[in-house]
Chain A
């Protein structure tokens, strides 16, 4: 059985989402079963158009920082977040939006992009995490 990696994506920040997705991609490329449990501000990323709107965790400067970092990443041939997400899904990475925080933040399932797995709770996360070699909270 493949080894497992489980990531909690709590942050909705662009740079932290990059960190989560790059690690998820590395794990999936190494043949691991990867699950990303998305909660609180991370859910904003999964809203339609959310990857484009994500702010930087530092020096966002009303969106100027985000614009700059995107330009720098493009120059360095780092793939955009939405393309990286598509690749993760192609590699079988599971994405579980958190049921409770969707309710708290008033986000409906139809507000989210279609390419996600089922809504999950902490019990499902624990069930994966207890069998995982790698667990991260980002």
Chain B
């Protein structure tokens, strides 16, 4: 998906400053409460979690729509909750 193409974010979670494994846990905590098809925006700056949050979505039906890098090592990950 092209950059900037996320048209609608339903839920957002800020994990900036958090260390392992909290960004993963906060992401899953939010997803569990969401409806299928809704989009979660995860903000963060923990480098390992940028790689590992998409890994944690592989078996659960979630779709990683976009991983976007920001200034100073920050990132945004957009995930669509699976059905």
The answer to whether B22 and A28 have CB atoms under 8 Å apart is no
Interface: B6 (CB within 8 A) = no
Interface: A104 (CB within 8 A) = no
**Which of B21, B27, B55, B60 is A22 in contact with, Cβ under 8 Å?**
B21
Q: In the complex, what distance in Å separates the CA atom of A84 from the CA atom of B29?
A: 12
Most chain-A CB neighbours within 10 Å: which of B19, B21, B28, B32?
A: B21
Interface: B25 (CB within 8 A) = yes
The answer to whether B60 and A25 have CB atoms under 8 Å apart is no
The answer to whether B59 and A30 have CB atoms under 8 Å apart is yes
B55 cross-chain contacts in A, Cβ below 8 A: 30
Question: Could you list some 16 contacts between A and B, CB below 8 A?
Answer: A3-B59, A22-B20, A25-B24, A26-B21, A29-B56, A30-B56, A31-B28, A76-B19, A77-B22, A78-B22, A84-B25, A87-B22, A87-B29, A88-B25, A91-B28, A92-B32
Within 8 A of B (CB), among A61-94: 76-79, 84, 87-88, 90-92
Q: In the complex, what distance in Å separates the CA atom of A77 from the CA atom of B15?
A: 11
Given A30-B56, A77-B19, A91-B25, 15 other A-B residues pairs in contact with their CB atoms under 8 A? A22-B20, A22-B21, A25-B21, A25-B25, A26-B24, A29-B24, A30-B55, A31-B28, A77-B18, A78-B19, A78-B20, A79-B19, A87-B22, A88-B25, A91-B28
| Shortest distance between the CB of B55 and any CB in chain A (Å) | 7
Interface: B5 (CB within 8 A) = no
B residues near A, CB below 8 A? 17-22, 24-25, 27-29, 32, 52, 55-56, 58-60
The answer to whether A30 and B60 have CB atoms under 8 Å apart is yes
The answer to whether B32 and A91 have CB atoms under 8 Å apart is yes
A90 cross-chain contacts in B, Cβ below 8 A: 29
Q: In the complex, what distance in Å separates the CA atom of A19 from the CA atom of B59?
A: 23
B24 cross-chain contacts in A, Cβ below 8 A: 25-26, 29-30
